[in-house]
Amino acid sequence: MRHRDESVPLSEVFALPAKVDMKIAAQVLDLRLTTAYRLARAGEFPCRLRKERGAYVIRLYDLMRSAGIQDVRVHDDDIEAGARFAAGGDDL
């Protein structure tokens, strides 16, 4: 019998936005904002992006992958154990 997956991406645990603007993406990728826009216009930005209402937006998932950050899955019981530990419990 298969159990349903009770895990969530780490980005959701910390309530990170699903999409970010060019300013945030440039900071994460350690690019100057002018360089980021130049790369975007040339079609050479390090990750997928698109325009929404005239502004570039980047999916957080794509940005994290381009930055080499893995959005690991976290299980509910790990979150609960971490909360107990942070509260002074000895649950590790």
Q: Could you report the per-residue pLDDT of 5-22, keeping only the tens digit for each?
A: 566 676 776 677 889 999
Residue 24 domain-assigned (yes or no):
yes
Residue 28 domain-assigned (yes or no):
yes
Residue 59 domain-assigned (yes or no):
yes
Mean pLDDT for the stretch of residues 21-31: 93
Q: Which residues contact 49 (CB under 8 A, 6 or more apart)?
A: 22, 25, 40, 56, 57, 58, 62
Q: Which residues contact 53 (CB under 8 A, 6 or more apart)?
A: none
What's the token pair of residue 69? 């950050």
Give the range of the structural domain holding residue 79, as residue numbers without chain letter: 14-86
Residue 89 has pLDDT above 80, yes or no: no
The share of the chain scoring above pLDDT 70, in percent, equals 84
Report the CATH number that the domain containing residue 36 is assigned in CATH: 1.10.1660
What separation in angstroms does the CA of 5 have from each of 9, 10, 16, 17? 12, 14, 21, 22
Global pTM? 0.67
Q: Could you report the per-residue pLDDT of 55-79, keeping only the tens digit for each?
A: 999 999 899 889 888 877 777 777 7
Number of domains in the chain: 1
